[in-house]
Structure 1
Amino acid sequence: MLTGELVELRPVSRNDLDKLYEWANDEALTSLGSGSQSALQNNNPKEAIQAHYEQNLTSHNLWQDGNVFMVYTLATKDPIGKCDYRNLNPVTRSAEVGLSIGEREYWGKGYGKDILYTLLDHLFLTLNMRRVQLDTWSGNTQAVRLYEKVGFQTEGRLRENEYVQGQYYDTMLMGVLKEEYLLKRNENKKNYT
């Protein structure tokens, strides 16, 4: 388990599958998190989600597959979301990350920032990654602001590569280097909540 100031990241267990099913079939939530890919992720039967996680729970290679965590609050021990790292490259020491807070009452209260700090601390300080990247879509402005707060910079854009609710958006490619992250983390530490 990885512990932050507000959250604890635990590896996904079978007990988490009902919550993951609920979040995976929340169209507004998957639209925010996945952009145009959300159409492929909604309306999945519970058995498909269970089979996907069962396969990952039983035949998981950390260096090839990364890790998926359930996010629990430290205060209430309630599950509020998930996050992951994947595509680890031991040569370049890079990885990709993602996160989603499924419980809306925890939005805008510092939980996303704490999830990222906890995950990035693990990647940079424990696994010795040099670079972490992610992609999002330009219409998810709340996520873009969060990523920038922890040190991610926009490294590229795929113009009009996302189609969400009848409108085109850019895919944003964002990344942060270890030194940039640690600098931003130390700057924000006094305001860290």
Structure 2
Amino acid sequence: MVKLVPLQPEHVVPFYTWLRDPEAIAYSLSAFQRMTTTAQIDQWFAATLQQANALNLGIYWEETHALIGYAGLSNISATNQSGEYFIFIGERAAWGKGVGTAVTKQILHLGFTSHPLNRIMLTVSEPNTGGLKAYTKAGFVVEGRLRQAACRQGVFHDKIVMSVLKAEWKPQGVPGGEPNRGNP
């Protein structure tokens, strides 16, 4: 269905459209809410690629090789053997097709097999029911709630904290679990 490829500087172009789509960024990074210019997006993307303690992978349709989003792990701590999962699917045609679940399973596989992680966590906006469903299917469990931690369009909502521990992770069929080392 999808494959993961390390992001490269030239992969920024689709983000120009995606980050200007209010529906696509509704529950994404707060920083996305403020980006309105190509220069701001370029600056964020370049900084993202430079993060030393992160894994940033482009999500591509396997058949067409089209970039549809990105996912990975941030705040990777070697000391704590932990990281924070993130995903952004900007291409609307990919929504509701199981991409989120498939990518989440692949990133968990990478985190627990290619990186010495013991815990992978995430936060998800409570109104993001599709995300909650995908993360639960992939094995995440609810740890807690950050009350009124996000504000979108003047309305506060809770963020749900979820995690998976390596000891409770059950590897599920993960086609394309290892990212390609080059272009899609």
Task: Give the shorter-chain TM-score range.
Answer: 0.7 to 0.9
Partner of 1:53: 45
Match of 1:172 among 160, 163, 167: 160
- State the identity as a percent: 28
- The answer to whether the 8 A contact 1:26-1:42 is kept is no
The CA distance in 1 between the partners of 2:124 and 2:98, in whole Å, is 19
- The answer to whether the 8 A contact 2:56-2:70 is kept is yes
Structure 1 unaligned regions, length at least 5: 1-5
Amino acid at match of 1:49: I
Partner of 1:108: 96
Partner of 1:41: 33
Whether 2:148 is the aligned partner of 1:153: answer no
Deviation at 1:41, TM superposition (A): 2.8
| Residues 1:130 and 1:24: Cα distance change in structure 2 (over 3 Å) | same
Structure having the higher helix fraction is 1
Match of 2:65 among 41, 52, 77: 77
Partner of 2:8: 13
TM-score by length of 1: 0.81
Report the count of equivalent residues. 173
Partner of 2:181: none
Segment drifting more, 23-32 vs 128-137: 23-32
Which structure would you say has the larger RCO, counting Cα contacts within 8 Å and 6 or more residues apart? 2
- The answer to whether the 8 A contact 2:35-2:41 is kept is no
Structure 2 unaligned regions, length at least 5: 174-184
TM-score by length of 2: 0.85
Deviations 1:147-183 (A, max 9, x none): 111111111111222222343311111111113221x
Structure 1 runs, 4 residues or longer, greater than 3 Å off: none
The CA distance in 2 between the partners of 1:27 and 1:142, in whole Å, is 17
Partner of 1:29: 24
RMSD: 1.8
The CA distance in 2 between the partners of 1:84 and 1:155, in whole Å, is 20
Whether 2:122 is the aligned partner of 1:130: answer no
Deviation at 1:126, TM superposition (A): 1.0
Deviation at 1:11, TM superposition (A): 1.6
Partner SS state of residue 169, structure 2: helix
